[in-house]
Amino acid sequence: MRQVINYSFRIEVVGDTDAPNPLHLCEEIQAYLNAHVSGVDENTDEYVNAEVIGYNVRRDNFTPFIAQEEY
């Protein structure tokens, strides 16, 4: 059985540092999956690794509100 599992991460970058490279993050996640997550393919009975199949990057323009006093 194949499943697609979506994970969501928020990464906070401090200062004027560039955001992490999403391709590099995918490569690191794939390396983790190769070492730790595998299953048996129903068609071939062989072990196969889970794999990263894509990514989506968007900047979160959420503006926090910090109350200066009680209303």
Can you tell me the distance from the alpha carbon of 3 to that of 8, in angstroms, rounded to the nearest whole number?
16
Evaluate whether residue 11 is within a structural domain: no
The answer to whether the predicted template modeling score (pTM) of the entire model surpasses 0.85 is: no
Q: Which of 25, 51, 26 is nearest to 39 (CA)?
A: 51
Q: Which of 62, 36, 64 is nearest to 50 (CA)?
A: 36
- Structural contact between residues 55 and 25, judged by C-beta atoms closer than 8 angstroms: yes
Evaluate whether residue 70 is within a structural domain: no
Evaluate whether residue 21 is within a structural domain: yes
The boundaries of the domain holding residue 36 are 17-58
Quick one: pLDDT at residue 35? Answer: 92
Looking at mean pLDDT, say which of 2-6, 9-13, 18-22, 25-29 comes out highest: 25-29
What's the structural domain count of the chain? 1
Q: Which residues of 20-54 are buried (b: 16+ CB within 10 A; e: fewer)?
A: eeeeebeeebeeeeeeeeeeeeeeeeeeeebeeee
Evaluate whether residue 63 is within a structural domain: no
Evaluate whether residue 33 is within a structural domain: yes
